[in-house]
Amino acid sequence: MVFLTGDLGFMALEPLQAAMAQRFINAGVAEQNMVSVAAAMAREGLEPWVYSIAPFCYARPFEQIRNDVAFHNLRVRLIGNGGGYGYGVQGPTHHAVEDYGVLLTLPNMRALVPVFDQDVPDVVTRAGETTGPVYLRLGRGEPPAGYAPPSYAPWRQLTAGGGAVVVGVGPLVGTYIEPFAALPEETRPNLWAACELPLGANPPPAALLDQIAKSRRLLVVEEHVARGGAGAELALMALQQGWPVEDFRHLCASGRIHPTYGSQAFLRLQSGLDPASMLEAAGPQTGKGRG
């Protein structure tokens, strides 16, 4: 195993650096070279893990990921920290709201997006078991206080009731648990977290499809732009497979370059991803129109 970082990890990766010794390589501020070096190492039978903050991990070296890693189906694990609006006030150059959509256009590519901090060891294990390239979009888990997340699985139901089906990606999902739990059971949404993309490789479970058949409402939420996201994939799946969805909505990152800076919570609010916007979209009082 070899760990490569693009000069990021100060105050975080020092223990890993000490443990891995010469197998820990700070490849410097040179992400294109880092990814091709990792591809060559994988070609030689090593197991490279490549780390940077999310935008520098996939956007700068995209052609290296495409030509050198994905075309050759090499076991390179790309770890992007702070996916979505995770680096809030650092500004749009540090945001990654199109990362997995862009990457999943490539052959052989998979993306893993944990919801809770407790998922990370399982997600890392899943990435390690993957035979081709994989992208880990990491973020800070945001469960309600005192919440015990269910064990990791590609699909997990986090709230249950007689309301709409809500499918979400990433830590954002954790912010809806408490508001949904406060709703009466008959109108409470069935909140699902999907962690492994593309969804076609891990189709939604039968229980989720049963809930769609009952509520006829499907809402997808993700801190990612509409194009290339899980919403587009689920909408296509629904049409191709004839799911009885009468009300489909997609809450997603606007992708707009905001004129002002702000925290991750502020930027989610600008895109209507905050819990109040979610309650309005998925709660019992709406369902009249299509979002």
Partner 1 sequence: MHFDAGVGHIGGNLSCLDALMVLHHEFIGADDRFILSKGHSAGALYATLWSLGRLSDEQLKTFTRDDSVLGVHPPVSGIQDIRFATGSLGHGLSLAAGTAKALQLTGKPGRAFCLTSDGEWQEGSTYEALVFAIHHRLANLTILIDHNRLQGFGSTGEVASMDPLAQRFSGFDVDIAVVDGHDPEAIREALSVTDRLRIVVLDTHKGHGVSFMQDRMEWHYLPIDDAQYRQAVAEIESR
CB nearer partner 1, residue 32 or residue 157: 32
- Write down the least CB distance from residue 29 to partner 1, Å: 9
Residue 43 in the binding site for partner 1 (CB under 8 A):
yes
Residues 6+ apart with CB under 8 A from 10: none
Q: How far apart are CA 226 and CA 253, in angstroms?
A: 7
Binding segment for partner 1 (CB under 8 A), chosen from 18-26, 128-136, 212-220, 241-249, is 18-26
Q: List binders of partner 1 among 194-233 (CB under 8 A).
A: none
- Write down the least CB distance from residue 50 to partner 1, Å: 11
Classify burial at 63, counting beta carbons within 10 Å of its beta carbon; exposed 0-12, middle 13-18, buried 19 or more.
Answer: exposed
Q: How far apart are CA 260 and CA 41, in angstroms?
A: 42
Residue 108 in the binding site for partner 1 (CB under 8 A):
no
Q: How far apart are CA 230 and CA 204, in angstroms?
A: 12
- Write down the least CB distance from residue 66 to partner 1, Å: 9
What tokens were used for 205? 């479970």
What tokens were used for 59? 């956007």
Return the residue of 5, 24, 38, 114 that touches partner 1, per CB under 8 A: 38
CB nearer partner 1, residue 32 or residue 254: 32
Q: How far apart are CA 92 and CA 95, in angstroms?
A: 5
Cα angle for residues 99, 84, 90 (degrees, 5° grid): 110
CB nearer partner 1, residue 43 or residue 94: 43
Return the residue of 10, 22, 206, 257 that touches partner 1, per CB under 8 A: 22
Does residue 143 sit in helix, strand or coil? Answer: coil
Q: List binders of partner 1 among 44-83 (CB under 8 A).
A: 44-46, 63-64, 67-68, 71-72
Q: Which residues bind partner 1 (CB under 8 A)?
A: 2, 22-23, 25, 27-28, 30, 32-33, 35-41, 43-46, 63-64, 67-68, 71-72
